Amino acid sequence: MSLVVMATGGTGGHIYPAVATARELMGRGHRAVILGQRGGMEQRVAFDTGLEFQGVDAGKLARSGQGRPDPRELLRAGRGVAEARRYLKGARPGAVVGFGGFASLPGVLAAQSLGLPTVLHEQNARLGLTQRLAAGRARAVGTAYGQVIGLPESRATLVGMPVREERRPRAEALAQLGLQENRLTLLVMGGSQGSLALNNAVPGVLREIFGQAGRTPDGQAVQVLHATGPRWLEEVAPRVADLPWYRVVGYTDAVAAWSAADLGLTRAGTGTLAEAAFHGVPLVMVPLPESAENHQLHNARSVQAAGAGRVVEQAELAGALGGAVLECAAPGTRAAMRAAALSRSPQGAAGRFADLVERHLR
């Protein structure tokens, strides 16, 4: 069997599909290693999930005020490519798999410079910058959408969005998270790094619609698990300290959280939407306005069109969020939305992408 290196990092949307694919390949007898930014989120996730990790330097391909790449970041990226080359020369993997994001670039470019097979996964409907740099020499590109702008159809293989295909019994998940049974459980999560806009708006809105007692207008008991992102925990927690039904954490076990949730209030990244669909959780989605090509808004509208969620744009948070949450929390609406969410489940995507990777192992 082969060693397969997963080049990824930066955000959960890039890291967790790599983890799901790594686990699938390991189940088939391969060895998998996560390669990403030294000290980045991917290193912590690899440790938490028991995966091997190889750290390199990585530079963000951001633009400076003059619209040119920051030369310091380019230097870091160059160092990362050199470090990745040294590692890959010795490890000689069967393939390097790139999941997008700046932290994936050193591993993918280093592999291509060494003539090693590379396979990419593109999670969005538009080819990302790092993937555009690598796609020309990649052996194959797996996609989460049937058509990807910037990628010829002949180069794309639709596999779906790999997610951790793991569910926990609801009672077990609630107990793990310190939550109660027999309450409507609302998960608030702004992505792996948290969301300042959601952290600022959501506590006040939920206090207003659920009251001190934590109940819907028809009397249903509610509880909230709000993952703020570690850097905002100390700011948000005091604002809801008097609400016994509102639990604030910096970071949460996503499998447990999705297994416990009845309704999610989230951003609209592809990874978040895929995990919600796998677990059958309806969503109130607040797309990130600054997402590239406004792709989160398009993602969210597709979920809403399928009947699995409601879109609230960030500019409308104060006026529209409470009504959307109450609408989706109603039992009949929530049941219909859950069925619609499950119909969009990406179950099997990790296996399909692993099949594609295996076809190109050297």
Element (H, E) at 7: strand 3-7
Work out whether the CA dihedral 106, 112, 115, 120 comes out positive or negative: positive
Work out whether the CA dihedral 354, 355, 360, 362 comes out positive or negative: positive
Element (H, E) at 177: helix 170-177
Binding site membership for UDP-N-acetyl-alpha-D-glucosamine: which residues?
Answer: 11-13, 124, 164, 192, 296
Could you tell me if 197 and 204 are in contact, meaning their C-beta atoms sit under 8 angstroms apart?
A: no
SS3 284: strand
Q: Return the amino acid letter for 51.
A: L
- Three-state secondary structure string covering 81-144: HHHHHHHHHHHCCCEEEECCCHHHHHHHHHHHHCCCCEEEEECCCECCHHHHHHHCCCCEEEEC
d(CA 162, CA 353): 8
Specify burial of residue 323 (Cβ count, 10 A radius: 0-12, 13-18, 19+): middle
Binding site membership: which residues?
Answer: 11-13, 124, 164, 192, 296
60 C-beta neighbours (distance < 10 Å), count: 18
